[in-house]
Amino acid sequence: MLMMNKAPQFLCKSTERPDLETSFLDGSSRNSVILLSSAIGIGTYNPGWRCSLHAGAITGKTSERHIGFIISGEMMVRDSSGNESLVHAGEAFEVAENHDAWVVGDEPCVALDFTQLPH
């Protein structure tokens, strides 16, 4: 019987053993796993963390589209038009490219980050 290689139908990974570990300039971090059609990251962003300063400076790029969920803490998000929204724990958000975001308050912001992979 001929066995064909099939694409996996199920994949389970832990962010404790990430496919990608990102350390930001201020010591904040994000661990990401790559699944079948998407990547999911969990980040701990320290008070004072700002995307444009601590992430953009590493990559030299402007921000990409983000879909996220705040687990704890708060983050202010400013879109490319200058509109700002404070995102609280328990809230999901999506923002287009060329945005900025920063931690608000004295506690770290823990957030999930979802990215759809190209087909």
**Cα separation, 61 vs 52, whole angstroms:** 9
Q: Give the pLDDT score at 55.
A: 74
* pLDDT tens string 9-34: 899 999 999 999 988 889 999 999 99
Q: Integer distance in angstroms from the first to the last C-alpha of the chain? A: 30
Q: Where are the domains of the chain?
A: 20-98+106-116
How is residue 117 written in tokens?
Answer: 């992979």
* Rounded-to-integer distance, Cα 47 and Cα 54, Å: 12
Query: What CA–CA distance (Å, rounded) separates 61 from 15?
Result: 25
Q: What are the tokens at 11?
A: 């994949």
Query: What CATH code is assigned to 20-98+106-116?
Result: 2.60.120.10
Per-residue model confidence (pLDDT) at position 3: 57
49-103 pLDDT per residue, tens: 998 876 765 555 667 788 999 999 999 999 999 999 999 999 999 998 888 999 9
pLDDT at 58: 58
